[in-house]
Amino acid sequence: MLRVLLTGFEPFGGEKINPSFEAIKRIDFQKLSCETWVLELPVVFYESSKLLIERIHEIKPDIIIMVGQAGGRKEISIERIAINLDDSKVPDNKGVAPRQDPISVFGPVAYFSTLPIHAIQRELEDANIPCGISNSAGTYVCNHIFYSTMHELAQLHTTKTMAGFIHVPYTTDQVIDKPQTFSLPISDITKALELIVETCVTEHLL
């Protein structure tokens, strides 16, 4: 069976929950046709990537699906690209806000996701879940772990590990005090993640 690592984040920015990890916790793992590991990461620039890279070395997953909250977005965003830049006006959960810092001084400018982004889009559309391919995962902690993971995999010279990032909108409960803000029920986000895992497993086996 393929080995899948799913990561989400702790809450940040004054939110009580982070839909990324809330949805991961609700996945019906028995139903999936793979072995799955889950990891909740801190919203802290280098601590998050260090923890994740350690787990990657321990687990040696075939597929790595990183998930984070993108409050305000109107769909599940299938991220296409990770860029070599940390830049944030908003401090992370340890109070650090890097400005215009490269993540890896000698690393390339960017990496593409190696998840089957178009197949994922088709599956989510077929399930009537709002989704789209996004060309920017931002320059905050999500992009940081996305780039750091892709860079680590590049150093390992492994082309068989699929990895990429999915941003999810706020859940319905999170927007009660945020008028005019898009949200999705947590059950839809969970369903989307289950479909994403299954699509990646199918495509990996092709």
Which residues face 69 on adjacent strands? 168
Is there binding between residue 193 and ligand PCA (CB under 6 A)? no
Q: Are 144 and 45 in contact (CB under 8 A)?
A: yes
Which residues face 171 on adjacent strands? 184
**3-state SS class at 49:** helix
Q: Which of 45, 111, 140, 165 is in the footprint of ligand PCA by CB under 6 A?
A: 140
**Active-site residue, selected from the candidate residues 75, 142, 144, 194:** 142
SS3 readout for 65-122: EEEEECCCCCCEEEECEEECCECCCCCCCCCCCCCCECCCCCCCCEEECCCCHHHHHH
Burial class (CB in 10 A: 0-12, 13-18, 19+), 133: middle
**Active-site residue, selected from the candidate residues 123, 152, 167, 200:** 167
**String marking each residue 161-180 x if it binds ligand PCA according to CB under 6 A:** --------------------
151 as an active site residue: the answer is: no
Closest to ligand PCA by CB, 43 or 201: 43
Is there binding between residue 9 and ligand PCA (CB under 6 A)? yes
CA atoms of 114 and 109, how far apart (whole Å): 16
Size of the site for ligand PCA (CB under 6 A): 12
Contact stretch for ligand PCA (CB under 6 A) within 54-62, 109-117, 133-141, 157-165: 133-141
Enumerate binding residues for ligand PCA (CB under 6 A).
9, 12, 18, 20, 43, 68-70, 138, 140-142
So which residues are the catalytic ones? Answer: 79, 142, 167
